[in-house]
């Protein structure tokens, strides 16, 4: 488990450097990915009347900010990579906060929902409780968190120049429950395939 301060700094800097140097190719490679199932999973659990205030956590170059805005919601991005954040602002015309995931500074009770698609797996397990606490705090009462991450057997480490943690369902549920969330649903992606061909674990949670 990576929990040394210098090690965590190295993890963050190296992973962000990867995205800074590959921002344009990352946009071209992901701009057409269909995550409509995930967006629908977040929105169907939201309480109250739209439009909703939604944070896209790890918004990358802005694909999903564009979608939320087109649906009429008030979308704000949060991104650690300055190159991706710049692309997100350009593509979406949304506010994008540039913050390191491991050093979050978020206002309390601001968002109805958080969309964390393929982002939280970059958080080392030693820091995940504090990150989840920050996300819990920035949600309004009964706010909803969506998360999708590549699943695994609770291993973590380097994949090239990017760091990742790969939780199984039980481990992920424990982290979220400890942070004060109640599970609403979970599923595996892509849809319609055998489980061994579904590398992504998606889950939806309510702040309690």
Q: Give the model's confidence band at 1: pLDDT under 50 very low, under 70 low, under 90 confident, else very high.
A: low
Residue 18: count other Cβ atoms within 10 Å of its Cβ: 17
Look at residue 46 in the predicted model and tell me its pLDDT. 97
Q: How far is CA 193 from CA 120, 185, 190, 198, 200, in A?
A: 24, 19, 6, 6, 11
- Taking 90 as the threshold, does the pLDDT of residue 188 lie above it? yes
* Mean pLDDT, range 140-149, rounded to an integer: 98
Residue 72 maps to which CATH number?
3.40.50.150
The DSSP call for residue 125 is T
**pLDDT reading at 170 higher than 60:** yes
Task: Supply the range of the domain harboring residue 150.
Answer: 5-207
Q: Mean pLDDT, the chain, as a whole number?
A: 97
pLDDT the model gives residue 7: 96
Alpha carbons 202 and 41: distance in angstroms, whole number: 9
| The Cα angle at residue 166 between residues 27 and 96, in degrees rounded to 5 | 35
CB 134 within 8 A of CB 104: yes
Number of domains, the chain: 1
Q: What is the pLDDT at residue 177?
A: 98
pLDDT in tens, 68-111: 999 999 999 999 999 999 999 999 999 999 999 999 999 999 99
Look at residue 132 in the predicted model and tell me its pLDDT.
98
Residue 141: count other Cβ atoms within 10 Å of its Cβ. Answer: 10
């Amino acid at each position: 488990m990576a929990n040394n301060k210098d090690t965590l700094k190295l993890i963050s800097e190296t992973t962000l450097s990867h995205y800074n140097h590959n921002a344009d190719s990352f946009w071209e490679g992901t701009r057409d990915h269909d995550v409509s199932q995930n967006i629908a999973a977040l929105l169907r659990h939201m309480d109250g009347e739209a439009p909703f205030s939604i944070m896209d956590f790890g918004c990358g170059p802005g694909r999903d900010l564009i979608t939320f805005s087109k649906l009429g919601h008030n979308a704000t991005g949060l991104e650690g990579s300055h190159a991706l954040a710049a692309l997100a602002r350009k593509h979406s015309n949304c506010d994008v906060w540039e913050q390191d995931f491991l050093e979050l500074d978020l206002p309390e009770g601001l968002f109805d929902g958080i969309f964390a698609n393929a982002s939280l797996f970059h958080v080392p397990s030693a820091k995940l409780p504090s990150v989840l606490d920050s996300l819990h705090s920035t949600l309004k009462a009964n706010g909803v968190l969506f998360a999708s991450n590549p699943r695994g057997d609770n291993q973590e480490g380097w994949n090239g120049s990017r760091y990742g943690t790969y939780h199984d369902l039980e481990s992920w549920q424990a982290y979220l429950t400890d942070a004060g969330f109640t599970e609403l649903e979970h599923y595996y992606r892509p849809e319609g395939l055998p489980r061994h061909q579904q590398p992504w674990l998606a889950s939806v949670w309510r702040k309690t």
